[in-house]
Structure 1
Amino acid sequence: MIDGHTKLYGLLAHPAAHSLSPAMHNLAFDRNQINARYLAFDVTPETLPTAVNAIRDLHLGGVNLSMPLKKAVIPLLDHVSDFAQKAQSVNTIVNRDGELYGYSTDGVGVVQALKHHTDLSQAHVLLFGAGGAAESAALALSDNGVGQLTIANRHVEKAQNLADRLSALTQVISLEDEAAVCAAVQQADVLINATSLGMQVQSELTPMPASAQLRADQVVMDMVYDPLVTTFLSQAKQAGVKTCLNGLSLLVAQGAASFELWTDTQMPVAEVEKHLAGLL
């Protein structure tokens, strides 16, 4: 029941109406009997400073942010975690008595989702992409002691710039070098698509060559969650890969990390993921 004590949380994004975050967090609030509600707010980079001030003035408990607001919000905050500072990306703000703390749960979500299926310290991860999503994932994997990381990107210089910031043993290859990509696929224990290929209008596209040879014991993750089964994941399933993780698992893992920062309570992950899958 919404009353005078209900705490408000939200998403700052542009556009915002399509987001699954309200459904995710409101279900989690209900299941944990927390008197709170989560709304989506359409906020542009131009209106971001006003929106951030509103978090303080209206005593919101916290918010999530999407691109391109994740970097723009950093100078507007009172405190930023070391990881978010390193990633130059904040996707979660916690309001503690008017002081705004910025965190990034993007990469944390990747690590948490993968830890259920593999020992990252022994894993060789092949990461497709070097943009914002790939950057957070690479930094988190590196910080969590991944065995080896290979970054495959169309623009090698961008991938190399990312690799130079990592502590993990990292190599860079071009997505346009099919032989190198196929070799990396065979060597990898974990494959992650952090590109936009496979998303909506690009749903038939994939960063992995059709000639790539996959193994049944590999873990394959796609950050895209709409559609739930992308061409990238279809390739893996057809090759007999047993562990295929769609972007919905990642979305919920990231959301669960934000939820815990706000409430010190765990999100009922399995129930939330099942609920969101039914909405897609």
Structure 2
Amino acid sequence: MSEIDGHTQLFGLFAHPAAHSKSPMMHNLSFEKRGINARYLAFDVTQETLPAAIEGLRALHMGGVNLSMPLKEAVIPLLDHMDPAAKLVGAVNTIVNRDGELTGYTTDGAGILASLPADLDLKKTRALIFGAGGAAKSAAIALALAGVEHLTIVNRHVDNGSRGAQLRDLLRYETSAKVDLLSMGETTSVRCAVADAKLIINATSMGMAPNTAMCPVPDASWLKPKQIVYDMVYNPLDTKLLQVAAAAGVQQRIDGLQLLAMQGAAAFKLWTNQEMPLADVRTALNQ
């Protein structure tokens, strides 16, 4: 890695907590592989200290930062500009500093699309998403804007005012997507929707440590081998859902590290205008 000097540019993560993040490893490895004189650090930033941190970003001429929840939403009033996709999602996970002007982006949706099989034609794809929180919203909007044929959202709460209903209505009003909303408790309807879907995404915390036994799909009989099963959880990497999918003979199983790498790659491209060395990053993430 190049030595730090007076020309080294600083990037970082604003999060609370921040110490557990894999982002510094991903970006510093990428800077090294691409010969870029830059460093990426993790900063513990709370909602209370966020305004000061953003002013520090400007004052120190940092190239940009990533943010985690709840900072993704809290940062919006502090920015100069927002990318249209970030406006629609209502959250920012990447900031680019261009001569003191801060623009907010969301790379989660781009990461989701980039991690799908290259030969998947979304315009001919029925998709189903478990969840209606921030991760589900990013996935749903990305799929809708990409022209997915039909989208089913499955959430615990679907009454008026719930996050599920709000997401359904947002997609219907702001995109041309055909969207259905089902309650997790409607077992028969959910099972039929799962069977009809080509792409199934878990955007909930079900299966995430320490609740590793939880799974939105009860057993392998719900799934078919030619489906694509995508779990956004990466701790553990081999979630209960992916295990159930494997038992059903599903060949195309996508884990959360793929999303982590792809959304990081989108941020890296915004900052440097270069491609992240994904093969090296993926190897490092798997270690």
Q: Structure 2 length normalisation: TM-score?
A: 0.95
Q: 1:25 aligns with which of 24, 27, 43?
A: 27
CA contact (8 A) 1:10 1:38 kept: yes
CA contact (8 A) 1:134 1:195 kept: yes
**Displacement of 1:209:** 2.2
**Displacement of 1:223:** 0.5
Cα distance in structure 2, aligned partners of 1:103 and 1:176:
35
- Please say if 1:159 is aligned against 2:161: no
Runs of 4+ in 1 over 3 A off after TM superposition: none
The corresponding residue for 1:215 is 224
Unaligned runs of 5+ in 2: none
The corresponding residue for 2:250 is 241
CA contact (8 A) 1:81 1:103 kept: yes
In the TM superposition, what are the counterparts of 1:62-77 in structure 2 within 5 Å?
62-77=64-79
- Please say if 1:178 is aligned against 2:187: yes
Give 1:130's aligned amino acid: A
CA contact (8 A) 1:182 1:212 kept: no
Cα distance in structure 2, aligned partners of 1:116 and 1:200:
30
CA contact (8 A) 1:185 1:212 kept: no
Alpha-carbon displacement from aligned partner over 1:120-141 (angstroms, at most 9, x marks no partner): 1111011000001001111111
SS at match of 1:10: strand
The corresponding residue for 1:37 is 39
**Displacement of 1:210:** 2.3
Q: 1:241 to 1:211 in 2, by over 3 A?
A: closer
Cα distance in structure 2, aligned partners of 1:115 and 1:211:
22
**Displacement of 1:269:** 1.1
Cα distance in structure 2, aligned partners of 1:6 and 1:135:
36
In the TM superposition, what are the counterparts of 1:198-213 in structure 2 within 5 Å?
198-210=207-219, 212-213=221-222
The alignment covers a number of residue pairs equal to: 278
C-alpha root-mean-square deviation of aligned residues, in Å?
A: 1.0
Cα distance in structure 2, aligned partners of 1:87 and 1:122:
24
Give 1:203's aligned amino acid: T
Cα distance in structure 1, aligned partners of 2:224 and 2:181:
22
CA contact (8 A) 2:7 2:37 kept: yes
- Please say if 1:135 is aligned against 2:137: yes
The corresponding residue for 1:267 is 276
**Displacement of 1:185:** 1.1
**Displacement of 1:116:** 2.4
**Displacement of 1:71:** 0.4
The corresponding residue for 2:92 is 90
Alpha-carbon displacement from aligned partner over 1:221-245 (angstroms, at most 9, x marks no partner): 0000111100011110111000100
CA contact (8 A) 1:186 1:212 kept: no
Give 2:213's aligned amino acid: E
CA contact (8 A) 1:182 1:209 kept: no
SS at match of 1:12: strand
More deviation in 20-29 or 175-184?
Answer: 175-184
**Displacement of 1:196:** 0.5
